[in-house]
Structure 1
């Protein structure tokens, strides 16, 4: 089997962060969060990295990554744009917001032909997650058996505002029974001052167990997922095209595949504490976390 590919979602505009966080520096030698993911992926046996970006980011991304990754891992780029016709929608819809993470994944359909995993550019997942995903993609994956890394939601939140997470229901066999994208998850304090986790939907807050497994958009797929997403997307646009904030999220595709009996998704558990940058205030926390991992020998001082 060919080496798996790492697909990095890096087309977001980072409106809450305030700048292009995909290329912001977090390590002692200017390393981005993506650099740490790529380093872990190389050590886990991945053979290629594909960046999903907006066309206007291309020069910046190439300047940041092409030279330092040369000879270490194959690099390619795919572009997320607003041309719906290449995804089976025969009309134009004017909007400012991209069509979401599943739409971004579809943008790589012509350049990925092997098992692959999807990650966010601004999320730090850690060595354990990449080792487990790399092993799965080289020894277990099939068109009917895919996966995701399942983090505890309590290990994935920001202290500075709301986050979006795919909340999973896990079967006794360790497979995903369902996944629902919750776009407003955050901490609140009750009357006694105890902090708890809630999500908000249509103006109503609901409690969420800190042990709940969530997707951090770290999915293990085969190219079969492109076919399924392409079947789903025209209907999504038909039903949601008038809503400028509607997004075609990745979890909706595996959820559909599970409900239709097309595939099962193994939830690969990790106890690791995720960290990432949603807000500018998150940056020093991420820098401190990376420094601690360098000090304990997990990463070298300079990656590449």
Structure 2
């Protein structure tokens, strides 16, 4: 239905630190992927469609995995992201192998989405509360110049098995994003949360909201992303590792005064698989949720 928001899933990443294709790896009691829990939570939060951004190499695998379980429960579509997608021939570099990043992935879905939409990573578990609060915003509050993100407290999104990178948010008194800085090499040290990236040691206070890439957009944002993409390409043609990220889009829109972003307080539960050692933690967490009745014994019945 037209008034229902769409869930856009970024599933084209390579999972290099994890050491495998974590987007299609099973973690639930019956081998469910993390993505299946996100789709399940989106359905019960009132979303009407799922669009998956995938690489051509995993397209058939993703279809074989998801369609038998999900078809008929929610509309589902697949969109390909490659290093040639939305890249005019004069800006294509044969030496480039690195994907162009999350904002480029969103742009690839431009022709598949005509309604307000959420964006998530395929390999992060966000929790049903996050889908509820963002689904409500996308159905009732979103405007062409008002978007949103779900905020997660920094202390709840660390890994015990290594450092992580997080988009650390600044906000005003109205709970609106004023800017975001990607901080790298974040871990807990002696009861403090420390970032050691970018040649500086920085303490991040507990309770600081960070982005886990759970965004809510009005479809008008595609025009802004396209505009910024057309500026990005000539400026980065020779930089084979350059990436075009969603936080860059958000920061630019805020600086330009073109849009505001509400930080929604729905981030109660998060876990992900940055490292192979994170796998048993995720498996146990999902098992416990099933045992508590938060999810049925069989996710798809």
Bucket of the pairwise TM-score, normalised by the shorter protein: over 0.9
Q: TM-score, normalised by structure 2?
A: 0.95
Aligned to 1:172: 173
Unaligned runs of 5+ in 1: none
Q: Residues 223 and 88 from structure 1, CA distance in 2 versus in 1: closer, same or farther, beyond 3 angstroms?
A: farther
Q: Identify the range of structure 1 (275-284 vs 227-236) with the bigger mean alpha-carbon deviation.
A: 227-236
Q: Distance in 2 between matches of 1:202 and 1:152?
A: 22
Q: Residues 270 and 185 from structure 1, CA distance in 2 versus in 1: closer, same or farther, beyond 3 angstroms?
A: farther
Q: Residues 271 and 120 from structure 1, CA distance in 2 versus in 1: closer, same or farther, beyond 3 angstroms?
A: closer
Aligned-residue RMSD, C-alpha: 1.5
SS of the residue corresponding to residue 244 of structure 1 reads coil
Aligned to 1:37: 38
Q: Distance in 2 between matches of 1:159 and 1:239?
A: 38
Q: Deviations over 1:262-290 (max 9, x none)?
A: 11111001351310111110010001111
1:197 paired to 2:193:
yes
- Which of 279, 285, 293 aligns to 1:283? It is 279
Whether the 8 Å CA contact 1:120–1:217 is kept in 2: the answer is yes
Q: Deviations over 1:25-63 (max 9, x none)?
A: 111111100000000000000011010110111110000
Q: Residues 241 and 201 from structure 1, CA distance in 2 versus in 1: closer, same or farther, beyond 3 angstroms?
A: farther
Q: Deviations over 1:91-112 (max 9, x none)?
A: 2123121011111111100110
SS of the residue corresponding to residue 290 of structure 1 reads helix
Q: Distance in 2 between matches of 1:243 and 1:2?
A: 41
Aligned to 2:54: 53
Q: After the TM superposition, which residues 135-174 of structure 1 pair with which residues of structure 2 at under 5 Å, given as runs?
A: 135-174=136-175
Whether the 8 Å CA contact 1:88–1:230 is kept in 2: the answer is no
Q: Deviations over 1:149-195 (max 9, x none)?
A: 0000111111112222221111101111112222x132153xxxx13
Unaligned runs of 5+ in 2: none
Aligned to 1:220: 216
1:258 paired to 2:259:
no
Whether the 8 Å CA contact 1:88–1:234 is kept in 2: the answer is no
Aligned to 2:117: 116
Aligned to 1:239: 235
1:185 paired to 2:188:
no
Give the aligned length.
Answer: 298
Q: Identify the range of structure 1 (265-274 vs 165-174) with the bigger mean alpha-carbon deviation.
A: 265-274
Q: Deviations over 1:224-259 (max 9, x none)?
A: 111111111132233333333221111111111111
SS of the residue corresponding to residue 131 of structure 2 reads helix
Q: TM-score, normalised by structure 1?
A: 0.94
Whether the 8 Å CA contact 2:150–2:267 is kept in 1: the answer is no
1:296 paired to 2:280:
no
Q: Distance in 1 between matches of 2:213 and 2:177?
A: 14
